[in-house]
Amino acid sequence: MKAETPLRVMLADDHAVVRNGLRAIINSEKDMQVVGEVEDGLDVLDRASELQPDVILMDITMPGLGGLEATRIVKQALPNVKVLILTIYESEECLYHALNIGADGYLTKAAHESEVVLAVRALARGKCYIDPTLASLLVNAFVAAGPQRAEPDRYNMLTEREREMLPLIAGGSTNREIAKTLLLSEHTVHNHRAHLMEKLGLHDRMQLLMYAMRRGIITPQA
């Protein structure tokens, strides 16, 4: 990352003390800076559209509009903006819902300062970042799902290009980002994504993320 172009980070949290702490953490790093803040979920999209941040640190509970709904709206309107849910909630339901609606990462407010910085950098690189303390929730989900006997055959159905795209898609990269990485058109990436999901019998990114983790293609902290 070039020092002259630091990562642009936006804070969305209704508690001033939390924003002050996050601002101090982010601005102490040479490769990132806080470019804006909001304390009402209704202001998130307008502010993000104006600032075009690389990463938004999003609280779940905010007045006006909750952080999860704000995340869904932002990811639909600004798919290249990465969203890191930063919350007090450590529930399986919140984690799954956040990833299902498009969040790129999930971190609890109990995390160490260095963990916040690592998560921001991971998301900026197009990776998915999940709080290590919550990884057990995903492991439990894998166990509950039972053996996936059809997986080897389904995976073998994928083309080399689709296998190349699988970790990128599961990690939350947009079609535009994948197209740039693999030197393809967005239309081509869109078609490969659709074929990949159909062959694996999956319906959303959360299912693909769990599939990729179960096969060891990516890890929760990748």
Q: What is the pLDDT of residue 95?
A: 84
CATH number of 7-139: 3.40.50.2300
Predicted TM-score (pTM) of this structure: 0.72
**Does pLDDT of 8 surpass 70?**
yes
Going by pLDDT thresholds of 50, 70 and 90, the confidence category of residue 149 is very low
**Does pLDDT of 126 surpass 90?**
no
**Does pLDDT of 73 surpass 90?**
yes
Going by pLDDT thresholds of 50, 70 and 90, the confidence category of residue 34 is very high
- Average pLDDT, integer, range 30-54: 96
**Does pLDDT of 88 surpass 80?**
yes
pLDDT tens profile 161-220: 999 999 888 887 888 889 999 999 999 999 999 999 888 888 777 788 878 877 778 765
Q: What is the pLDDT of residue 10?
A: 98
Two structure tokens written together for 77: 């309107």
Q: What is the pLDDT of residue 1?
A: 44
Distance CA(111)–CA(25), nearest Å, equals 12
* DSSP annotation string for 78-135: -TTSEEEEEES---HHHHHHHHHTT-SEEEETTS-HHHHHHHHHHHHTT--EE-GGGH
**Does pLDDT of 222 surpass 60?**
no
Residue ranges per domain, the chain?
7-139, 147-214
- Strand blocks (E) in 125-177: 129-130
CATH number of 147-214: 1.10.10.10
Q: How many CB atoms lie within 10 A of CB 172?
A: 23
- Report the candidate in 50, 82, 184 with the shortest Cα–Cα distance to residue 37: 50
Average confidence score pLDDT of the chain: 86
